[in-house]
Amino acid sequence: MVKKVLMQTYLWVLLLLLYAPILIIVIYSFTDAKVLGNWTGFSLKLYRSLCNTGAHHSLMNALINTIAIAFIAATVSTLLGSVAAIGIYNLRARSRKAMGFINTIPILNGDIITGISLFLLFVSLGITQGFTTVVLAHITFCTPYVVLSVLPRLKQMNPNLYEAALDLGATPMQALWKVIIPEIRPGMVSGFLLALTISIDDFAVTVFTIGNQGLETLSTYIYADARKGGLTPELRPLSAVIFVVILVLLIIINRRADKAKNK
Amino acid sequence: MQSEIKPIIEVKGVSKFFGEKTALDNINLSIKKGEFVTILGPSGCGKTTLLRLIAGFQTASEGVIRIAGEEITQTPPHKRPVNTVFQKYALFPHLNVYDNIAFGLKLKKMPKDTVLKKVKAALKMVGMTDYEYRDVNSLSGGQQQRVAIARAIVNEPEVLLLDEPLAALDLKMRKDMQMELKEMHKTLGITFVYVTHDQEEALTLSDTIVVMSEGRIQQIGTPTDIYNEPINSFVADFIGESNILNGVMVKDKLVHFCDRDFECVDEGFGENTPVDVVIRPEDLYIFPVSDMAQLRGTVQSCIFKGVHYEMVVLCHGYEFVVQDYHAFEAGTEVGMLVKPFDIHIMKKERICNTFEGKLIDETHVEFLGCEFECAPVDLQKVSLGDVLVDVDFGKINLLDNAEDGMLTGEIKFILYKGNHYHLTVWSDWDENVFVDTNDVWDDGDRVGISIAPEDIRVRVKQEER
């Protein structure tokens, strides 16, 4: 009995420690104190002023940039990753294993290394850094995740399906659209959502590829803001909103994964 | 007559290689329009590869395939006038029954009402009326296979290819589906090419059976031909049960086996030629000892098989499998009789192992990738260099411990010859070694192979013609 209580306590303490920072931000987003830690009574003023873009134009700009980059990068990497997964699936066993391994390297590789190497690449090619380079960088690190979520769908598929489509008179292109894509669509959607969250979340790679033309994403804006001393109070409600959105996305992804497993 | 009809499928000199491996070796096959042809063979014999070449999922390394007189060797599958039923159904899981069946028709841009009519007709054909809007994943194996068949025949192909379509179904369902397939073949009047490893299925369904083994066609014939006149011991052993014994053709219509001469109906083998004798278990008459008996023996075992009893009878050192409606207890002395036309004679493919080799010196010869010591060779008669080496089946020793042999191999095919086993061993030098032995081995066993020097006979290699 005592053991059980100890185990429970340990678990709850651990969870509290893990989530305390986020909880504090969420709680203090409902008060209008300038400094974090002061509770001056419940208020939605910060949420209101966040919606009022005039006041914090640069913050809203950063948010819009972040979302635009995330959607473009997620869309492109979903296309690239799905095509790559189909290619990898059709390789012979040994090459397939090798490609699978190569695909995991960018995932395991530190963001900072990816960031620096992309920075050096763009500089050496003489490409001016800005919106395009950030999008390209995000596509680079999102694609492997899409490959990872599409490959299992292909492996589950009856290997004769593609041949059956050809046999019934479909050209290879028609077989791809009418049979293969519908089969792997759940994997593609999961991959897209995953890419979206990773892209929104990224700081290390972004900061190396964003250039000095004044472009800001949310992560770089917050970083710069914090270095100037003190966070803009509106960041608290913004963080809370982003947290909830990401949470919802994650729940959707997990639900889908569970459904796929139960099928 | 049938033979005047132009063949719908012609396979000429087709080979298929996967890297070093030969999956199909010079296949020649001609299928008549409207025939039900079964390609029969054990797993790995190349039967599915042959079907895939006809369907176009793989292309032949050599040779030509024609369908309805048109060469299609390199034509992609979607342009071929054939449709396939796959072993694991391969229904599209994201489409319902209707859309699965309509898949091919919609691609042809057929008007909607025609599609509907055709799909309904196809569903009726396979006995699945009213299943249109069911999810294919909710159907049983048998129902899925029916939908798969409907999906193929709705396109009205010239040829329907079926790749072990019933293999995943249970016995009862399989029997029902066999009858339905045969019925369907009659109604549709199109050519069926059916791949299976089940000999009973092949005998039940086919107009023509093509028996394959190791990438080669062993025999083509009607079910009765194949059953009654198997061309070699592989076919005899694979189709139905049989007693296969070594015999000697004394002269026309007289064969010697089991220490006795028997009258038979075969001729043209020459005099005193070693042959394989095949007797089906149901062709041996068994009765209490009497003057009628051609053979006398003792029953070793007796098993009830439902319709008949299966007995093993030992006579003159040979074991015979006998099937009869009457049971004779183990230990009973019995007499047996076989009618002349029930004795099937097959020419032996070979009477000893012959290898190509190289004579190194008087007492050493190289073959099967190894150097063997041999009895001294008369260098006056046989010169050093390329020679032929003969080794009798019974003179090859197989060793449990693969390392003890001069080379190793894998047992690939076992044939019981009544008093000994005739094994085919695939040596690591990629050549077959044939061995007679009394020891019991299993398929797939790895063995060491050794040959005593005095059992190696070296002779001059005839110049190539």
What are the DSSP calls for A173-184, one per residue? HHHIIIIIHHHH
- At A53 the pLDDT is 59
Query: For the domain that residue B329 is a member of, what is the CATH number?
Result: 2.40.50.140
Q: Is residue B89 part of a domain?
A: yes
Contacts of B233 (CB under 8 A, 6+ apart): B244, B276, B278, B346, B415, B422
Strand partners, B309: B304, B324
Inform me whether the pLDDT recorded for A254 exceeds 90: no
* Alpha carbon A114 to its chain's center: 16
- At A56 the pLDDT is 62
Query: Do residues B172 and B287 both lie within one domain?
Result: no
Digit-coded pLDDT (tens) for A157-207: 988 999 999 999 999 999 999 999 999 998 999 899 899 989 988 999 999
Inform me whether the pLDDT recorded for A263 exceeds 80: no
- At A177 the pLDDT is 93
Task: Report the pLDDT averaged over residues A118-131.
Answer: 90
Helix, strand or coil, per DSSP, at residue A110: coil
User: Is any Cβ of chain B less than 8 angstroms from the Cβ of A156?
Assistant: no
Side-chain-side CA neighbours of residue B402 (13 Å): 11
Contacts of A108 (CB under 8 A, 6+ apart): none
Collect all residues of chain B within an 8 Å Cβ-Cβ radius of residue A180: none
Q: Is residue B241 part of a domain?
A: no
Q: Is residue B78 part of a domain?
A: yes
Helix, strand or coil, per DSSP, at residue B161: strand
Of the candidates B281, B273, B280, the residue with the CA atom closest to the CA atom of residue B257: B273
The answer to whether B90 contacts A160, with C-beta atoms less than 8 Å apart, is yes
Q: Which of B78, B86, B94 sits opposite A160 (nearest CB)?
A: B86
Interatomic CA distance for residues A207 and A197, integer angstroms: 17
Q: Which of B55, B91, B92 sits opposite A167 (nearest CB)?
A: B55
Query: Do residues B64 and B157 both lie within one domain?
Result: yes
Side-chain-side CA neighbours of residue B351 (13 Å): 9
User: Is any Cβ of chain B less than 8 angstroms from the Cβ of A169?
Assistant: yes
Q: Which of B48, B51, B86, B144 is the best substitution to test chain A (most A C-beta atoms within 10 A)?
A: B86
Chain A residue with Cα closest to B91: A161
- At A77 the pLDDT is 96
User: Is any Cβ of chain A less than 8 angstroms from the Cβ of B49?
Assistant: no
User: Is any Cβ of chain A less than 8 angstroms from the Cβ of B284?
Assistant: no
Q: Provide the chain A residues 183-212 that lie in CB contact (below 8 A) with chain B.
A: 183
DSSP A55: T
Q: Is residue B240 part of a domain?
A: no
Contacts of A205 (CB under 8 A, 6+ apart): A111, A114, A115, A118, A137, A138, A141
User: Is any Cβ of chain A less than 8 angstroms from the Cβ of B78?
Assistant: yes
- At B350 the pLDDT is 82
Q: Is residue B72 part of a domain?
A: yes
User: Is any Cβ of chain B less than 8 angstroms from the Cβ of A23?
Assistant: no
Rg (CA), chain B: 27
Inform me whether the pLDDT recorded for A108 exceeds 70: yes
Query: Do residues B104 and B127 both lie within one domain?
Result: yes
User: Is any Cβ of chain B less than 8 angstroms from the Cβ of A163?
Assistant: yes
Q: Is residue B239 part of a domain?
A: no
A252: its two tokens: 């959707």
Of the candidates B245, B261, B340, the residue with the CA atom closest to the CA atom of residue B295: B261
Q: Is residue B465 part of a domain?
A: no
Query: Do residues B133 and B277 both lie within one domain?
Result: no
Higher pLDDT, residue A48 or B5:
A48
The answer to whether A163 contacts B86, with C-beta atoms less than 8 Å apart, is yes
User: Is any Cβ of chain B less than 8 angstroms from the Cβ of A90?
Assistant: no
Of the candidates A65, A24, A61, the residue with the CA atom closest to the CA atom of residue A240: A24
One-character DSSP codes across B42-104: -TTSSHHHHHHHHHTSS--SEEEEEETTEE-TT--GGGSSEEEE-TT----TTSBHHHHHHHH
Query: Do residues B444 and B381 both lie within one domain?
Result: yes
Full residue range of the structural domain in which residue B287 is found: 246-347
- E strand or H helix at A149, and its extent? helix A131-156
Given pLDDT bands bounded at 50, 70 and 90, which one contains residue A260?
low
Interatomic CA distance for residues B350 and B354, integer angstroms: 9
Query: Do residues B338 and B368 both lie within one domain?
Result: no
Strand partners, B15: B62
Alpha helices in B108-164 (DSSP H): 112-125, 141-153
Q: Which residues of chain B have pLDDT under 50?
A: 1-3, 464-465
Of the candidates B202, B239, B216, B155, the residue with the CA atom closest to the CA atom of residue B37: B202
Q: Per the structure, how many domains does chain B have?
A: 3
User: Taking a C-beta distance cutoff of 8 angstroms, is the pair B453, B373 a contact?
Assistant: yes
The answer to whether B104 contacts A164, with C-beta atoms less than 8 Å apart, is no
Measure A94 CA to nearest chain B CA, in Å: 15
Cα→Cα distances B74→A63, B64, B174, Å? 56, 9, 35
- At B464 the pLDDT is 47
Beta strands in chain A (DSSP E): none
Amino acid, single-letter form, for residue B205? L
Place of tokens 């909607």: B112
The answer to whether B93 contacts A178, with C-beta atoms less than 8 Å apart, is no
The answer to whether B108 contacts A178, with C-beta atoms less than 8 Å apart, is no
Given pLDDT bands bounded at 50, 70 and 90, which one contains residue A63?
confident
Collect all residues of chain B within an 8 Å Cβ-Cβ radius of residue A170: 78, 103, 107
Q: Which of A167, A180, A188, A189 is the best substitution to test chain B (most B C-beta atoms within 10 A)?
A: A167
The answer to whether A167 contacts B108, with C-beta atoms less than 8 Å apart, is no
Query: Do residues B448 and B367 both lie within one domain?
Result: yes
pTM: 0.77
The span from the first CA to the last CA of chain B, in angstroms, equals 40
- E strand or H helix at A254, and its extent? helix A235-262
- At A69 the pLDDT is 94
A187: left (phi over 0), alpha (psi -120 to 50) or beta: alpha
Query: Do residues B323 and B376 both lie within one domain?
Result: no
Interatomic CA distance for residues B107 and A177, integer angstroms: 12
Q: Is residue B265 part of a domain?
A: yes
Domain boundary among B284, B312, B347: B347
- The total of other beta-carbon atoms located within 10 Å of residue B156's CB is 15
- The total of other beta-carbon atoms located within 10 Å of residue A180's CB is 20
Interatomic CA distance for residues A133 and A125, integer angstroms: 12
The answer to whether B92 contacts A166, with C-beta atoms less than 8 Å apart, is no
User: Is any Cβ of chain A less than 8 angstroms from the Cβ of B297?
Assistant: no
Domain boundary among B310, B325, B347: B347
Collect all residues of chain B within an 8 Å Cβ-Cβ radius of residue A168: 78, 83, 103-104, 107, 151-152, 155
User: Is any Cβ of chain A less than 8 angstroms from the Cβ of B124?
Assistant: no
The answer to whether A166 contacts B56, with C-beta atoms less than 8 Å apart, is yes
Inform me whether the pLDDT recorded for A249 exceeds 90: no
* Alpha carbon A72 to its chain's center: 12
Digit-coded pLDDT (tens) for B4-57: 567 899 999 999 998 878 889 999 999 999 999 999 998 888 899 999 999 999
Query: Do residues B220 and B111 both lie within one domain?
Result: yes
Query: Do residues B258 and B281 both lie within one domain?
Result: yes
Query: Do residues B228 and B250 both lie within one domain?
Result: no
Strand partners, B30: B10
Domain boundary among B233, B259, B278: B233
Rg (CA), chain A: 22
Q: How does the average pLDDT of chain A come out, rounded?
A: 87
Query: Do residues B111 and B219 both lie within one domain?
Result: yes
- At A237 the pLDDT is 85
Task: Give this complex's ipTM.
Answer: 0.75
Q: Which of B57, B89, B103 sits opposite A168 (nearest CB)?
A: B103
